[in-house]
Amino acid sequence: MECTTNRPGAYCKFMGKNGCTFVAGACFEVIEKCDGCGRIVETEAGRFCSVYPHPEMKWQRGICNFATHVRPELPKDASGKAINPLKAAKRASKGR
């Protein structure tokens, strides 16, 4: 349904007939780590994330996986080349 709280007019899966069903009855504002992200939307109520209602939670275990402004560092081998984690796991499982 369409949001009627912090992001009026935007589609939100947490919006119900009786209002917002998210934790505090509305989504939370973005945090400092979100600065520069392309998913930030500004409304009269403040700055919010267009894809996740609680940005602070999204950063608790490292980099937000929806972020457009930062990417996780890939592990590198001794020569400085990036290691493909999928191939590395495959090699490890074969015992090489």
Q: To the nearest whole angstrom, how small is the minimum distance from the Cβ of residue 59 to ligand SF4?
A: 7
Q: Which stretch binds ligand SF4 (CB under 6 A): 4-12, 21-29, 59-67, 77-85?
A: 59-67
19 vs 66, beta carbon nearer ligand SF4: 66
Please check whether residue 84 is in contact with residue 57, taking contact to mean a CB–CB distance below 8 angstroms.
no
Instruction: For residue 46, give the amino acid letter.
Output: G
For residues 45-62, one letter each, b for 16 or more C-beta atoms within 10 angstroms of the residue's C-beta and e for the rest, the string is eeebbeebbbbeebbeee
Q: Which of 1, 51, 83, 89 touches ligand SF4 by CB under 6 A?
A: 51
Binding mask 29-48 for ligand SF4 (x = CB under 6 A): -x---x--x-xx--------
